[in-house]
Amino acid sequence: MTLNSSPGETATQVVGMIAALSHIDSAGFHGIDTELRGESPIIDEFWSSRARAAQIAAASISWPEELQPQAKSFSDAAGRLAAALSAGDAKAAAHPAREAHAAWHTLNTPAWSYLAKTAGLQKAGDTNQHQHQHQAP
């Protein structure tokens, strides 16, 4: 592992990022967005708590300076989604779901790339994007 600043500080930040990103990635923002844009959307009873937990995970760690705007944007979007889901109106929750899904991508890709670079695994031109198809808005 290649640590670029104080080893203890960077290691703590890396561990926090891995924990937060793993939790955020497992919340299912793609599936929530897809379901709520469907013809007969139904809110899963666990989505609100998952979105809220992802919001907390993103807000609870110290992100590298270059990722702080994306982390803040994601945390805010996840909070709006959690609130919309708690209200129980699937149609009204569709826009916050799309927003949270987009904010997740905006954080996820550069954050995992940052970790790969920190670990010495990033090669020139690599991206650490997940592979799934998106429908145009």
Per-residue pLDDT tens digits for 56-113:
999 999 999 999 999 999 999 999 999 999 999 999 999 999 999 999 999 999 999 9
Q: Domain tally for the chain?
A: 1
Q: Residue 137 above 50 pLDDT?
A: no
User: Which are the contacts of 128, defined by CB distance < 8 A and separation ≥ 6?
Assistant: 109, 112, 113, 116
Domain membership flag for residue 131:
no
In Å, what is the CA distance from 48 to each residue of 4, 16, 87?
37, 23, 9
Q: Residue 5 above 80 pLDDT?
A: no
Q: Residue 3 above 60 pLDDT?
A: no
Domain membership flag for residue 136:
no
Length of the chain measured in residues:
137
Q: Residue 9 above 80 pLDDT?
A: no
What does the pLDDT average to over 47-58? 98
Domain membership flag for residue 113:
yes
Domain membership flag for residue 65:
yes
Q: What is the CATH number of the domain that holds 50?
A: 1.20.120
Residues of the domain holding 52? 10-118
Report pTM. Answer: 0.83
Domain membership flag for residue 133:
no
Return the pLDDT at 34: 97
Domain membership flag for residue 55:
yes
Say which residue, 5 or 15, is predicted with more confidence. Answer: 15
